[in-house]
Amino acid sequence: MRRVSRITLAVAAFALMVRVAYILVAFLLLGKDAPGGPPHDGYLEIAQNLLAGRGYTLLGEPNFFRPPTYVVFLLPFAAFPRAEWTIVFAQAILGAATCGLVTRMTASLVSTRYAVAAGLALALCPWHVHFAANGMVQVLAGLLVTLFTMSWVASRASQGVPSSAACGALYGASGMCHPAGALIGPAWVVDHVLRTLRRGRHRDGVLGLLAFSAAFAVIVAPWVVRNRLASGTWILFSNAGGFQYAVGTSLVERSKGPLSLPNGGVYPALDDVQGELRAAGFTESQTLGTYKGVAPLEAAFLRRWTVNHFLRNLTSLPRRLVQHGWWFWFGDSIVSPWWHLLYKVPLLVLAAIGVWSGLRRSVHCVEADALQRHLSPIASGQPSGSSPPRQGAIVPLAIVILVFWLTHATIAAFIPHAAYCLTVLPPLCVLAAAGAATE
């Protein structure tokens, strides 16, 4: 236990040093623009408006596009004159903490030797380092999704109510940080129901579902009630889904091939969506042009447009899956192909091996019996008395990655950007370590 803790702290400290060094070199020595700025995409402005008593608004209007978890994170820093600097150093701490969690999870599921490799793989990931120095919501989302995944694995090892409640709370917090993971909660519910039915533990199953639902409701209720009162509609995480699908559709149509970037970037795609709104009778959409917000009426129209377009264009779904799926992992790879290929392709190959071998019960889990003790600091259910099945850890990791990947590929793909896959790089590193450790 002490050895795992020392290794975890050492990897986290190294990751923090790498991120702080990058911030200092990039912005002080190389003279880059001040950190934060445009990549905040309105989150910092919303936090400053909240502190100024103007409510959850952006560009003078109530905002339902940007969910609140990242805004809450920014609130302590929003009052500072140079808030961007304190934010990027705080994000460096978040990124380093995520590297520590990856190390700890890998030590519990695989071995301490591979735990160091997995933690360092994330600590030295160029995009994870770079976007910690920018206002990217994915840095915080990656930490929350990692904690959710750890709690999910812990809930599989024990049928305890605390681990189920932790999953519900973390699902709510992560969904209101990065809505592309909206389906990881339903995936947990399906897995929980099937598992408890198979084991005949119906009482534990019901208690777990109640704990999950109650914790989730406590986290999201204030946001949902606010949205209902301010817009007259029910909005769970964000009203951005239809808008993102429409923009993603235009980007696909404007690109030359399944692996190419769209011609003209994102702004022609935004103009295409504006054209759809004007054709439907909307005279003005003040916030749509900056993709920082969509008003409730426009969002409702775009949701209907999304459903109709999806059903009418099922034959184009394969290309969409390939193209947006590629953008999710390799985003701007046409601009910097070697960085993406050298880093991500080995990870993806090893992760695939880890999933296959884990499902075949052949992962070398030398510390699998320590799962409940070491894995999740937020889950405190009692151990089941026997080592958990090895695929019990593999399934949640794989499902979380697939949910984000497929959601981006079908609906939420927006701009080809290297930041999108940051949310699932932590579980990917763990799976890659499992693949490397396969006998």
At 68-106, the pLDDT tens digits run 999 999 999 888 877 878 888 899 999 999 999 999 999
Residue 289: C-alpha distances to residues 36, 150, 270, 407 (Å): 20, 39, 7, 24
Token reading at 245: 């699908």
Mean pLDDT for the stretch of residues 23-49 = 71
For the chain, what percent of residues have pLDDT higher than 90? 40
For the chain, what percent of residues have pLDDT higher than 70? 83
Q: How confident is the model at residue 41 (pLDDT cuts 50, 70, 90)?
A: confident
Q: Are 327 and 420 in contact (CB under 8 A)?
A: yes
d(CA 130, CA 116): 21
- Look at 85-89, 182-186, 297-301, 329-333 and tell me which has the smallest mean pLDDT: 329-333
d(CA 108, CA 373): 9
Instruction: State the DSSP code for 409.
Output: I
d(CA 212, CA 172): 10
Token reading at 85: 């600097």
Between CA 136 and CA 436, with CA 130 as vertex, the angle to 5 degrees is 105
Write the burial class of residue 28 (CB in 10 Å: 0-12 exposed, 13-18 middle, 19+ buried): exposed
Instruction: State the DSSP code for 133.
Output: T
Residues 6+ apart with CB under 8 A from 359: 391, 394, 395
Mean pLDDT for the stretch of residues 330-347 = 78
Query: What is the per-residue pLDDT across 389-425, written as a single tens digit (0 to 9) for each?
Result: 355 688 899 999 999 998 888 876 566 677 888 999 9
The top-scoring range by mean pLDDT among 10-19, 155-164, 287-296 is 10-19
The top-scoring range by mean pLDDT among 47-61, 218-232, 295-309 is 218-232
d(CA 428, CA 401): 7
User: Structural domain boundaries of the chain?
Assistant: 2-235+364-382
pTM: 0.88
